[in-house]
Amino acid sequence: MIVKKHTSSGKLLLAVCDSEILGKKFSEGSKVVDVSASFYGGDEVSVDEFLKLLSQAYMINAVGNECVGLLVNNGFVDSSNVLMIDGVKCAQCLMEKH
């Protein structure tokens, strides 16, 4: 999984994607997600590292079945709020404590 840290007004936004979809674009009808290297291209991290980073973020933008699955399984995103585009899960999460 790849995580890129973006900072805005001193707050951390995490852009995360599954490694194998970085640089790809998915579309289905009017829905499109571009997993561009400029936004998502960061560092390869383990599941444990990813879960630790979540506590520091105010917002998470995730694309990929593995990383979105982790967000759902760890209670950060409700499965009813996951968007599916061309077989790829997408989710955004605003962390409550920030």
Q: How many domains does the chain have?
A: 1
In this structure, what DSSP letter does residue 58 have? S
What's the token pair of residue 45? Answer: 């991290």
Q: How far apart are CA 28 and CA 85, in angstroms?
A: 6
Reported in sequence order, the residue ranges of 23-79 that DSSP labels E, i.e. its strands, are 25-28, 31-34, 43-44, 59-63
3-state secondary structure of 92: strand
Range of the domain at 55: 2-94
pLDDT in tens, the chain (98 residues): 999 999 988 999 999 999 999 999 999 999 999 999 999 999 999 999 999 999 899 999 999 999 999 999 999 999 999 999 999 999 999 986 54
- Which CATH number covers residue 82? 3.30.1860.10
Type of residue at 36: S
Rounded Cα–Cα distance for residues 17 and 25 (Å): 12
Residue type, 43: D
